[in-house]
Structure 1
Amino acid sequence: MPDIYRADHVGSLLRPTEVKEARSAYQGGRMELSEVTAVEDRAILRVLERQKDVGMTVFTDGEFRRTVFQNDLVESVDGFVETSSPAVVRIWQGPGEQPTEPGMRHVVGAKLRQPGITDPFYSSRSDLLWEIAEIIRSEIAALAESGVQYIQMDAPRYSYYVDPRWRQHLRDLGEDPDQMFEEAVAADNHCLEGAQREGIVVAFHVCRGNNQSKWYAEGGYEAIAELLFGSLKVDRFLLEYDTERSGTFDPLRFTPSDKVVVLGLISSKEAELESSDKLLRRIEEASAFVPLERLAISPQCGFASTAPGNLMTEDQQWRKLEMVAEVARQVWGN
């Protein structure tokens, strides 16, 4: 089994004030892109050092160069065009008003191709899926060739298949959610082929939506657990388990003996710090389905999947990451 990182996280961190101000200045024509990059560079170096200081075992740049967690694809692939209406109707749940989703209002306006309204170009969702899968596959292979030791993919759409409302939405579109899920797993396996090699840990996060402390999907993993855990060619699954919206640990019984489950027990949405006693108790409960040696812990999602970030302070964010590392040390000793 590849190295087990016990204190994990999903990647995004709250943007420091200077990063937000630099981005705003650039958008307003008051700062050059090179100046923004310099601000981001300094901020990234600081958070890398801070992650080490709090005891994390995997490190991230905080996604400080992104507006939205998935913008990279749209920005690096020719064929997407802007549209005045959202490409996806999404009802967010949680505090405050419905958030805007900058950078996500794009549709396919030509055949996609990798440079340094979809129907006219792809006859089906499936055709589009496999075109994108091939592009992502080459990107993941490039990461592996560059020596990256830990590659983590995010899957916000997998939660559609556990939420009855979203399953019905897909049926209303004329789609079969079970067939779509099976094809999604196959496409992701295709994407990951380039990372299947010695010394690389491949991880997969099943997200339920994360935008300014809101979410859009809920439901236990039972409906997808057997196929997902048994078929997806990854080393570890990062699963959201911060609230009752995620269901019970029972579906973890389908986890193969060569996979690690990272329990997302600490909320990146709510500012209140979890108690270590409760976290230890939850880990013990999960160990009834997956042995302790194949478990790890993390926040349930990132702290800022979109640039505005979730509703907490940077200090509260770091206290939560400290808690991840502290509990990992208590349970596994590293």
Structure 2
Amino acid sequence: MAAKYRADHIGSLLRPAEVLQARSDKQMEHGQLRALEDKHILRLLQRQKDLGLKIFTDGELRRLNFMSDFNDAVEGIDESDNLLRSWQAGGAGTSTQPSRVPGIVMGKIKQTQRLTQHELAFMKQRSPGDIKITLPTANQFPAIYYKKGLSDKVYPTHSAFLWDIVPIIKAEIQAVIDEGAQYVQIDAPRYSYYIDPKWRNYIKNEMGLDPEAALDEAIRADNACLEGAKRAGVILAIHLCRGNNRSQWYAEGGYDAIAEKLFGRLQVDAFLLEYESERAGTFEPLRFVPHGETVVLGLVSSKLAELESQDQLKRRIDEASKYVPLENLALRPQCGFASTMEGNLLSEEEQWRKLKLVVDTANDVWGQA
């Protein structure tokens, strides 16, 4: 089946300064903040429409980070603690620092509210076109919220924690589809652990897991979340990320180590893959993508302000088409522009120029965005 949207984007957009300031103002009432978010989301929706995009997001403006919708919806996460994680910037050395998405599981996970109902309700009223809702993979949380000596008092294993999360994500996927979202995207940074030797060692030595067995379980968990979600007219997608935090990343490597299992087993319609730099490897692993599924190529950097050459993008799309038919390809920026609230190190106008490049290139290559 041919890709429905040729010009796509991950979802998060740079937060306006007014929103950032409001979030830091502890005296602002919830209703005031919500009205401010509404105002800016309307502006973002109009900009997306003006650019010619056919799939719309709220920029994740209501979230602190790409997965805070989960934290807000459950009990059992202590956000006063976190694990250290190393991040790397292009051309810079590696620095170890506390994660910007803090949290440690300290109690049994209990859902207290829906994750994205409030986001989708507003989008259904005001979006000028089809709506994308993003959700974190269930695999995200055991990898970064499980701290030995604390979490194991509640969940004896990472696996036990994971399978308590699965029904929450599954129910949310079903709900947003029932409520009218046309595109549901699972954001799955943790698959990058399996393509980078240093993170495979982390899985083995720090998490105490066999990497291949952990990969198998991760795929089973995502498929369990997606079970029963396929509907006519709805796209189920997964976004594979190598880290996105103030223009920094934490993993590198091609998809070779996971391609056959991941592409062959995951029950999705589209794979959103990062290919903006040499860190992503070659297009050869795309040969394992099942016939008819869409690959959305992340060829435009969302981390760097420099604008890519359209000719180079077209050459890269042509290279990818040796492994996946052109009709099953689409284009997007490599990641979100603001996976964390602070956002990446480029301006809002530079962000829009990147998205315009995606739309213009899609129109040239496929005759539509």
**Shorter-chain TM band:** over 0.9
In structure 1, distance between residues paired with 2:318 and 2:166: 37
Pair 1:144 & 2:173 matched: no
Q: Deviations over 1:81-113 (max 9, x none)?
A: 2343x23x31100067666544x3222222111
| 8 Å Cα contact 2:85/2:97 also seen in 1 | no
Pair 1:77 & 2:111 matched: no
Shift of 1:161: 0.3
In structure 2, distance between residues paired with 1:110 and 1:152: 28
Q: Deviations over 1:35-94 (max 9, x none)?
A: 11111000001001100111112111011111111111111111112343x23x311000
Which of 256, 263, 267 is residue 290 of structure 2 equivalent to?
Answer: 256
RMSD: 1.4
| 8 Å Cα contact 1:99/1:212 also seen in 2 | no
Pair 1:288 & 2:283 matched: no
Pair 1:205 & 2:239 matched: yes
In structure 1, distance between residues paired with 2:53 and 2:163: 35
Pair 1:63 & 2:96 matched: no
Partner of 2:29: 32
Shift of 1:8: 0.5
Amino acid at match of 2:173: I
1:129-278 → structure 2 map (5 Å cutoff): 129-173=162-206, 174-278=208-312
Q: Secondary structure at the match of 2:323?
A: coil
| 8 Å Cα contact 1:137/1:194 also seen in 2 | no
Partner of 1:91: 86
Pair 1:23 & 2:23 matched: yes
Amino acid at match of 2:241: C
| 8 Å Cα contact 1:2/1:199 also seen in 2 | no
Q: Secondary structure at the match of 1:195?
A: coil
Pair 1:11 & 2:11 matched: yes
In structure 1, distance between residues paired with 2:24 and 2:103: 21
CA separation of 1:3 and 1:281: change in aligned 2, threshold 3 A: closer
| 8 Å Cα contact 2:73/2:112 also seen in 1 | yes
CA separation of 1:176 and 1:279: change in aligned 2, threshold 3 A: same
| 8 Å Cα contact 1:80/1:110 also seen in 2 | yes
Shift of 1:283: 0.3
CA separation of 1:77 and 1:50: change in aligned 2, threshold 3 A: same
Partner of 2:352: 318
Alignment size in residue pairs: 328
Segment drifting more, 207-216 vs 15-24: 15-24
Partner of 2:337: 303
Pair 1:329 & 2:351 matched: no
Q: Secondary structure at the match of 2:263?
A: helix
Partner of 1:115: 112
| 8 Å Cα contact 2:2/2:294 also seen in 1 | no
CA separation of 1:12 and 1:98: change in aligned 2, threshold 3 A: farther
| 8 Å Cα contact 2:2/2:292 also seen in 1 | no
| 8 Å Cα contact 1:3/1:201 also seen in 2 | no
CA separation of 1:295 and 1:3: change in aligned 2, threshold 3 A: closer
Shift of 1:122: 1.5
Runs of 4+ aligned structure 1 residues displaced above 6 Å come to none
Amino acid at match of 2:275: Y
CA separation of 1:19 and 1:328: change in aligned 2, threshold 3 A: same
